[in-house]
Amino acid sequence: MSEILVKAIDVTKRFTGFTALDRASLDIRKGEVCCIIGPSGSGKSTFLRCINMLERIDGGAIWIGGELLGYRRDGDRLYEMRDSEIARQRRRTGMVFQRFNLFPHLTALQNVTEGPIHVLGEERKAAADHARELLARVGLADKMNHYPSELSGGQQQRVAIARAMGMRPELILFDEPTSALDPELVSEVLDVMKDLAESGMTMVVVTHEMGFARGVADTVAFMEAGRIEEVGPAKKVLSEPDNARCAAFIRAVHK
């Protein structure tokens, strides 16, 4: 068994009058693809945002590579990290959002090089060379100098994936990466994600694409009302779930 890269224990997140995550626990191993499924509002995106520290948790704990996120230990006490320390930890993860979030005034190449140059401190030429390799890998070698407005939704999302990879993360989080795309553009993004999975990248994917989950995921976690109600091998969870609510959700998705 490969080592556990992400460990989340009893993660709780509350917003005003609402508990978005209710003691959610999950282990993700290095090189694993974990798909998180469940109805809208079940806490899937919030869970990703907590792993990436875009949201501070109200209870529980998350570790990446054995490092506790958001806190440092001094003896027997925990202290909240400074923003600069949190930014350092956040570099361990890449994130691909539903709506691409590209810089509209930068070309595809510039979107991919911006982080490595200004956050990682890479030399401009080295960052640009790596960005060209990544854009070629996602099938956009001929679009490097195009602006987001000149690209289709699927092409923009592939730039976003290249941008996440450009930061050399240990894992990439995907928050329903195909939900904003026209149906005919979904497959081109999923193909890039499949290639990334085959390369050994650790991936956590919030998705309603059951075909992708069946074909690519190692594990599947089902969320309901902020809780992870079932988690296990993808084939088992998607074909013979133990949780009745999970079974009903999968049947509904396949109708």
Q: What is the mean pLDDT of the chain?
A: 93
Question: Crossing angle, helix 108-118 and helix 124-137, to 10 degrees?
Answer: 130
Task: Give the mean pLDDT of 165-171.
Answer: 95
- Which regions of 76-153 does DSSP assign to beta strands (E)? 77-80, 93-96
Q: What per-residue confidence (pLDDT) applies to 235? A: 93
Alpha carbons 32 and 234: distance in angstroms, whole number: 11
- Average the pLDDT over 224-228 and give the result: 96
pTM (two decimals): 0.91
**What is the reported pLDDT for 2?**
66
Question: 255 or 212: whose pLDDT is higher?
Answer: 212
Report CA dihedral (11, 165, 157, 155) to the nearest 10 degrees: -170
Residue 71 predicted with pLDDT over 90 = no
pLDDT exceeds cutoff 90 at 221: yes
Read off the pLDDT of each residue in 226-242 and give the average, rounded to a whole number. Answer: 95
pLDDT digits (tens, 9 = 90+) for 109-158: 999 999 999 999 999 999 999 999 999 999 999 999 999 999 999 999 99
Q: What is the DSSP secondary structure assignment for residue 150, as one 8-state letter? A: G
- Is 176 within 8 Å of 45 (Cβ atoms)? yes
Q: Please, what are the domains in the chain? A: 30-44+91-254 (3.40.50.300)
pLDDT level of residue 76 (50, 70, 90 thresholds): confident
